[in-house]
Homo-oligomer: A and B are copies of this chain.
């Protein structure tokens, strides 16, 4: 790590983000344009995200598998909306083993097509349903403007793909998995999200309905943080995914897909980070606690390190790091681990040893406000409580921020103004023309039609037509 200060978040959000991702050693640029290397600290964060989600997927009856990286070009063309959505973004393999391929292979941008093909082979009868499979995989989309975690050519994600006997069951699955994402985002990521439906314009290429969780970043822009799609029978018909029902009649399946990616790391950084650097939620932090021993001479060092060893042993169920580097000062260590977002720092000096106490320093409340002196007895319990307090308070703070920056404009002029600096929650008639006008005038898009609605009716903020739903307009990543 370098001693240089980070760019200030309040002054240059974008520079702050880019510098921080690299300086905290979360990720780095790969030699190929727009590709990233996820470094060990970032990957450890992703592993914790994976475990938190995978546990939830398994608890809801899903299993993991692995589908191929390469998809024949012709597969994408079988679903019209799908190919239109993805063809501008494809990476294509044309040479294999030194020879030009007869049919070019697409590096998967998403796997509905190839999984649909396999499901058509595997599913025969209603007894085979539902099929509830997820995969953890890398995918490639040839993006023009890229940023680490937020938009890269190759990224990492999970994609769930399920097949069902009825429309109702598939729709319920779609909503269930969105709820799983929201539960994860809120309770593990401390990222408050708004669950809702995407507009026709913003939905997934090939879906009947797309659902999303949308979060507000520290610069008040929106980040789509996870999506779940009800695909109807679109892919079932394109790939012939059929089953014999109990009356021996051939029926098309109803399918869903849902995904959450390394983009969520961007959501964590931008929701909680501050001028000092990262602030990681305790449930996902690669290192939950850093212990910094403080001493001036060898006598003190021996005494302090004995206490550090005892504390380390007592806290062995936490993800803990002891920073016993001798070549740098405690102050340097404080800055270093603050920049890396470790939720709780424990300082142990000679006086603490004498008093049988330690000093806690909360990352989410830097300076004196986050400092407390804590007795050594029942330390594991005290630490667990403190981490839970930090976890909760991160979410509360982010939620308050979003609420403070979500506006309900009274007219179109006000809409145009408020989306410059926050979310707008407004009545919308649902027509694509109105949505397009807002985008043209302000660059804000419809983020979602939240499930939670005030009820009643109102006038479309754009055209004044009677409307039954409100929508979130915002500028987005």
Knowing A63-B44, A107-B107 touch, does A36 contact B142 (C-beta < 8 A)? no
Interface positions, chain A 115-167, Cβ under 8 Å from B, are 117-118, 121-122, 127, 133, 137-138, 140, 142, 144, 153-154, 156
Which one of A69-77, A168-176, A380-388 is at the B interface?
Answer: A69-77
Interface residue A89 (Cβ < 8 Å from any Cβ of B)? yes
- Select one of B40, B65, B114, B156 contacting A31, CB under 8 A: B114
Which one of A91-99, A354-362, A469-477 is at the B interface?
Answer: A91-99
A117 touches B72 (CB 8 A): no
A64 touches B40 (CB 8 A): yes
Question: Taking the full assembly, how many copies of this chain does it contain?
Answer: 2
Interface residue A39 (Cβ < 8 Å from any Cβ of B)? yes
Knowing A96-B142, A97-B90, A97-B144 touch, does A43 contact B30 (C-beta < 8 A)? no
Residues of B within 8 A of A105 (CB): 32, 91
User: A45 to nearest B CB, angstroms?
Assistant: 11
Interface positions, chain A 55-90, Cβ under 8 Å from B, are 63-72, 75, 87-90
Residues of B within 8 A of A30 (CB): 67-68, 70, 114, 118
Interface residue A35 (Cβ < 8 Å from any Cβ of B)? yes
Interface positions, chain A 39-57, Cβ under 8 Å from B, are 39-40, 42-44, 46-47
Give Cα A152–Cα B137 distance, bound, in whole angstroms.
18
Give Cα A154–Cα B35 distance, bound, in whole angstroms.
20
User: A273 to nearest B CB, angstroms?
Assistant: 21
Interface residue A458 (Cβ < 8 Å from any Cβ of B)? no
Interface residue A28 (Cβ < 8 Å from any Cβ of B)? yes
Give Cα A114–Cα B28 distance, bound, in whole angstroms.
13
A68 touches B37 (CB 8 A): yes
Give Cα A105–Cα B114 distance, bound, in whole angstroms.
23
Residues of B within 8 A of A71 (CB): 31-32
Interface residue A285 (Cβ < 8 Å from any Cβ of B)? no
Closest residue to A117 on the B side, CB-wise?
Answer: B31
A70 touches B142 (CB 8 A): no
User: A27 to nearest B CB, angstroms?
Assistant: 9
Interface residue A330 (Cβ < 8 Å from any Cβ of B)? no
Residues of B within 8 A of A114 (CB): 30-31
Give Cα A350–Cα B360 distance, bound, in whole angstroms.
61
Residues of B within 8 A of A39 (CB): 65
Closest residue to A327 on the B side, CB-wise?
Answer: B127
B28 touches A70 (CB 8 A): no
Interface centre among A37, A66, A90, A98 (most CB of B within 10 A): A66
Residues of B within 8 A of A43 (CB): 63-66
Interface residue A305 (Cβ < 8 Å from any Cβ of B)? no
The 10 closest A-B pairs by CB, nearest first: A97-B142, A40-B63, A92-B95, A30-B68, A38-B66, A35-B68, A96-B142, A94-B94, A43-B65, A40-B65
